[in-house]
Amino acid sequence: MHQQQVIEQLLAWIEQSLDQPLTLDDIAAKSGYSKWHLQRMFKQHTGHILGTYARRRRLTAAARELRLTGTSVACIADTYQFDSQQTFTRCFRKQFGLPPASYRRSQDWSSYGLQPPLRLTEAPLPQADIVTLPAMQLVGHTQRRHCTLGQLAASKCELRRHAWRQLL
């Protein structure tokens, strides 16, 4: 049980330290274990490799910043402790399949490559309340389109343009 608490505390610390240096030595020093023992313990409790998990979380934070801000790729690479923009771009492309600039410009924000934070203990879900709303009349237009999976992205954009033209 003690080891699981250590791993949970490390996971929380990693989340708070994504923009700080996070070498295996730094993480091991924080835990009080040798880096070899810590890596075995982390893998045993989470199923993930410690260094890979930290890098994937850092890249996920960088991807979020790319999509939500106009910060330059070089600044984001520096913020998340990559040696250079080239190293960042290489790692980013490996994880997300696109270089950072293309990822920022892509129309859809795919979840491919994103590493959510690990949680060893599941917090209880909030209690659901069933709410009955009064009857209301909905107003709108129904549209149907048929397309293949390959045509879906282009079809969504065309459908959106068509709907805006009708609305305006």
Buried b (16+ CB within 10 A) or exposed e, 123-139: eeeeeeeeeeeeeeeee
Judged against a pLDDT cut of 90, whether residue 151 lies above it is answered with no
157 or 59, which is more confident: 59
pLDDT, position 1: 57
Q: 25 exposed, middle or buried (CB, 10 Å; 0-12, 13-18, 19+)?
A: exposed
Question: 105, 128, 158: which is the final residue of a domain?
Answer: 105
Inter-helix orientation angle 2-16/35-46, to 10°: 100
Q: How many domains does the chain have?
A: 2
Question: 105, 126, 153: which is the final residue of a domain?
Answer: 105
What is the spatial distance between Cα 59 and Cα 89, in angstroms, rounded to a whole number? 10
119 belongs to a structural domain: no
By C-alpha distance, which of 78, 30, 72 is closest to 58?
78
What is the spatial distance between Cα 151 and Cα 147, in angstroms, rounded to a whole number? 6
pLDDT, position 73: 94
Query: Domain holding 81: CATH number?
Result: 1.10.10.60
Question: 56, 90, 105: which is the final residue of a domain?
Answer: 105
pLDDT, position 13: 92
pLDDT, position 56: 96
154 or 15, which is more confident: 15
Instruction: Give residue for tokens 């040696």.
Output: 83
* CB of 15 closer than 8 Å to CB of 22: no
pTM above 0.85, yes or no: no
pLDDT, position 49: 94
- The CA-CA-CA angle for residues 21, 24, 28, to 5°, reads 105
Judged against a pLDDT cut of 60, whether residue 145 lies above it is answered with yes
pLDDT digits (tens, 9 = 90+) for 85-130: 999 999 999 999 999 999 999 988 888 999 999 887 777 778 888 9
pLDDT digits (tens, 9 = 90+) for 12-66: 999 999 999 888 998 999 888 999 999 999 999 999 999 999 999 999 999 999 9
Domain enclosing residue 71, as ranges: 2-105
* Residue-wise DSSP of 98-136: S-HHHHHH-SS---TT--PPP-SSPPPPPPP----PPP-
Identify the band that residue 4 occupies on the pLDDT scale cut at 50, 70 and 90. Answer: confident
